[in-house]
Amino acid sequence: MPANLTPDYLAADKKFKTATTSHDRLAALEEMLSTIPKHKGTEKMQADLKRRIAKLRDELQRKKGAARGKPFYHVDKEGAGQVLLVGTPNAGKSMLLRALSNAEPEVAEYPFTTRVPLPGMVKFENVQIQLVDLPPITMESREGWLYGIIRTGDAALLVVDLASESLIEESEGVLNLLAEEGIRLVRDPRGPNEKRTVVAANKLDAPGAADRLRLLREFIADQLAVIPVSAAAGTGLDGLRQAMFDLLRVIRVYSKPPGKKVDREAPFILKQGATVLDAAEAIHKEFVEKLRFARLWSGQHYQGQMVGRDHVLQDGDIIEIHA
């Protein structure tokens, strides 16, 4: 018997696929269960929804209990990946977080406004990226937890103040302090303590910024790419969003149910190098064992052709799983 899913159910399913928090995913699953047609053709789907709801509720309950013992600096990763704002006092990290995301950090002219990690979600096209503002890197604030967060983050933005006459010394100081803790900010990581990073050269609208930007590029361009921006004026922010996505080294893959149109608003986020089998597991774990074949739409080369489970996927690929 066909499922005959209703528009309300499909809308709830879309909410689930685009949800960025566990609470939002739970609410969407509960809405899916309440709106799914109740007949023999959907019995397995109803059972699966109930199982997923129960599992998510249990996870949230355990997280709630564990949260009581979490340290103040802990930030649960959300979205496509976690990018950290690293820099000196008053470089404009909090201004960037506010300009790029839904967060509302305190922004002031005096240093050390940010005392604890503050996350916000940045939208890039159809994905959400977690951006975390951190306390400044200085000799006076060398808490171990701060460097621990940088080690475990997926990538970093080194924020440099183009309004400062001492930006080269300040940038060098941050890099040296991180190096003393065994952390290197690099363009292309080769080791476990290297963090993929780009430079966000902030305050591009400040007097003399163009000259200081040139000096900065001469100093650091061999090590890191430099993106000039102004959080206050909104200049260069779209390019910075693109850079954040590129830093994460992830791809977006879209699932196309057989005989239906693809939903481009709800991609599955996978690591670069992921295969058809990885995508099948992300879509539904049962597909891993039951996968018979897949069809792929990718650029001009694949328009629905069958591909093997080891085929490496690219950003924007559309995959149709047949189990």
All structural domains of the chain, each given as residue ranges with its CATH number in brackets, are 1-70 (1.20.58), 82-248 (3.40.50.300), 250-323 (3.10.20.30)
Lowest-pLDDT choice from 70-74, 146-150, 267-271: 70-74
Mean pLDDT of 200-227: 96
Lowest-pLDDT choice from 78-87, 126-135, 277-286: 277-286
Structure confidence at residue 66 (pLDDT) = 57
Name residue, tokens 């499909």.
Answer: 10
For residues 243 and 56, the model is more confident at: 243
d(CA 312, CA 114): 42
Structure confidence at residue 107 (pLDDT) = 60
Structure confidence at residue 99 (pLDDT) = 95
pLDDT band per the 50, 70, 90 thresholds, residue 108: low
For residues 82 and 322, the model is more confident at: 82
195 torsion bin: left (phi>0), alpha (psi -120 to 50), beta (else):
beta
Residue 85 has pLDDT above 60, yes or no: yes
Mean pLDDT of 76-85: 95
d(CA 6, CA 290): 27
Structure confidence at residue 114 (pLDDT) = 55
Lowest-pLDDT choice from 40-44, 67-71, 301-305: 67-71
Q: Provide the whole-model pTM.
A: 0.77
Residue 113 has pLDDT above 60, yes or no: no
Structure confidence at residue 1 (pLDDT) = 46
Mean pLDDT of 184-209: 96
Chain segment 226-281, per-residue pLDDT in tens: 999 999 999 999 999 999 999 999 999 999 988 888 988 889 999 999 999 999 99
Residue 181 has pLDDT above 50, yes or no: yes
d(CA 297, CA 317): 6
Structure confidence at residue 95 (pLDDT) = 93
In the chain, which ranges are E strands?
82-87, 118-124, 127-133, 155-161, 184-186, 194-202, 226-228, 250-255, 268-271, 293-298, 302-307, 318-322
- Burial of residue 130 (number of CB atoms within 10 Å: 0-12, 13-18, 19+): buried
pLDDT band per the 50, 70, 90 thresholds, residue 110: very low
Percent of the chain with pLDDT over 90: 59
